[in-house]
Structure 1
Amino acid sequence: MQKSLNTGTSTRTRQITVIGMLSAISIMLGMTGLGFIPIPPVKATIMHIPVIIGAILEGPIVGASVGLIFGVFSMVQAITAPTPLSFIFMNPVVAVIPRVLIGIVSYYIYKGISGKNKSLGTAVAAGVGSLTNTAGVLGLIYLIYLEPYAKTLGISVSAAKKGILVVGATNGIPEAIISIIITMAVATAVKKISRR
């Protein structure tokens, strides 16, 4: 019984440590600007990668927790360093929910595939997790803010619809590829170290 309690405490401590470490990396990427690639009128991001790594290595609670911190940071950044489109990310539905889902989706994709092939599971989870962020954020912009988005950019609603699709492709595909490369490298390295 004592051994079981110690194991549970050790696991929780490790998970809290991983959440703190990956959240700090995500925030550092955001604060330094290293986590954003400007592609007007939006910024492509690699800040979702720590969320995916946390989910694959430690499970959906860790992934969702890092995603929550990423989402809250997006809201804080929208308030403290506003751009013309920052009003969108002041809404927690847009800023937080897709980021939490990154961790949950990535974990279950990984779990579903990794039993047969861990490398394939990691790659697919990283790609789908990244696309969850892109589709979630852009989909919510489309559903909630299409008209204000168009007005802010000075374009028609139909042009805004097309623009969101273009942004989804031009941001989403490169983000997914980068996510796969970095996640596979980090997850493989961490698993090798943890086996020692």
Structure 2
Amino acid sequence: MRNNKTAELVLTALFAAIIIIMAFTPLGYIPLVVINATIIHIPVILGSLFCGPKKGGFLGFIFGLTSFIKNTVMPTSLSAFVFSPVLAASMVGTSGIVKSAFICFVPRILVGILPYFVYIGVKKALSSRHKILWASVFNILIGVFLFLGARAFLLHVFDKKPLSDIALYAVSALVGWFVFIALEVYTVLKSGAVCAFVYAGVTGAMVNTILVMGGIFVLYKDAYAKALSVDAGAVLGIIGGVISFNGVIEAIVAAIIVAALGMVLNKLKPIQK
């Protein structure tokens, strides 16, 4: 028991150090032709899985704290105030302190909590007597998610030279179908753990994107529009675009990295239920 607790503390410290390094260097981003996919949340997700939701929540707090410091000390965008209570207070008044603190910390803390329970739930379903049925359901959902991600990516890449609808849907469907078949073979014949890791990665990434962007729309719609010099009515479209493109791509990247690293780490330190 003591050895297990010590291992969790060491891992927590290691993940915290990785989060800090990623946050203040370009290492926290992966260039993907047209965007830089944020991967800072991945150590938080892995920390949630291997150290438990309490320590995962703490790692999420560290993630939020780095975002607060970076956007306060060295803001890189006009909308940095949504992550900085200090800047928000000077722009929108004292109410901005609570609003920005919520956006900066709450989504990131949940990134360190929810993936653990998703992993446990999926793993339990894939260990039941209905394993094949559950595996197919989960894999279909992942395939659909990949289809949507591939479609959003292609639409963005070929924005100025649009693909035909047939080519767009054919390539997107091929990506989703290939991933579905690969996961079916792996989860049915080998282990359902990879599917559980994939869902944990997707959950962590999408929780971060949806809650942050949703929080901006609910709490800062007018101020966000003013900062971007756009009409308030256009904010919903901008936020929807970020979620459907950046959010989906980052979730796919998180799913791949969390699954790859998770399978390796799980052999060294099995996840505690």
Q: Please give the TM-score of this superposition, normalised by the length of structure 1.
A: 0.88
Secondary structure of 2:113's aligned partner: helix
Task: State the Cα deviation string for residues 128-149 of structure 1 (Å, max 9, x = none).
Answer: 1110000010011011111110
CA distance in 1: counterparts of 2:227 and 2:53, whole angstroms: 36
Q: Which amino acid aligns with 2:71?
A: A
Asked if 2 retains the 8 angstrom alpha-carbon contact of 1:52 and 1:103, the reply is yes
- Can you give the 5+ residue segments of structure 2 that lack an aligned partner in the other structure? 85-99, 127-191
- Is the alpha carbon distance of 1:37 and 1:148 closer, same or farther for their aligned partners in structure 2, counting shifts above 3 Å? farther
Change (3 A) 1:57 1:44: same
- Asked whether the equivalents of residues 18 and 62 of structure 1 are also in contact (C-alpha less than 8 Å), the reply is no
Cα distance, 1:34 vs structure 2: 2.1
User: Is residue 172 of structure 1 aligned with residue 181 of structure 2?
Assistant: no
In the superposition, the TM-score normalised over structure 2's length comes to 0.64
1:14, distance to aligned residue in structure 2 (A): 2.2
Tell me by how many angstroms 1:48 deviates: 0.4
Flag structure 1 segments of 5+ consecutive residues without an equivalent. Answer: 1-6
Aligned to 1:34, the other structure's residue is in SS state helix
Give the number of the structure whose alpha-carbon radius of gyration is greater: 2
Q: Secondary structure at the match of 1:70?
A: helix
Going from structure 1 to structure 2, the CA distance change for 1:77 and 1:43 (only over 3 Å counts) comes to: farther
How big is the alpha-carbon RMSD for the aligned residues of Structure 1 and Structure 2? 1.9
Question: What residue number does 1:98 align with?
Answer: 107
Q: Percent identity?
A: 33
Q: In 1, Cα distance between the equivalents of 2:66 and 2:113?
A: 19
Q: Indicate the residue corresponding to 1:4 in structure 2.
A: none
Measured against aligned partners, the alpha-carbon deviations of 1:128-185 in whole angstroms (never above 9, x if no partner) come to: 1110000010011011111110001100011111101101111111100000110011
1:87 corresponds to 2:162: no
Of the three residues 54, 58, 64, the one matched with 2:51 is 58
Deviation at 1:10, TM superposition (A): 3.1
Residue 181 of structure 1 aligns with an amino acid whose one-letter code is: I
> 1:123 aligned to 164, 178, 198, which one?
198
CA shift, 1:76, in A, is 0.5
Which segment is superposed worse, 17-26 or 177-186? 17-26
Q: Secondary structure at the match of 1:96?
A: helix
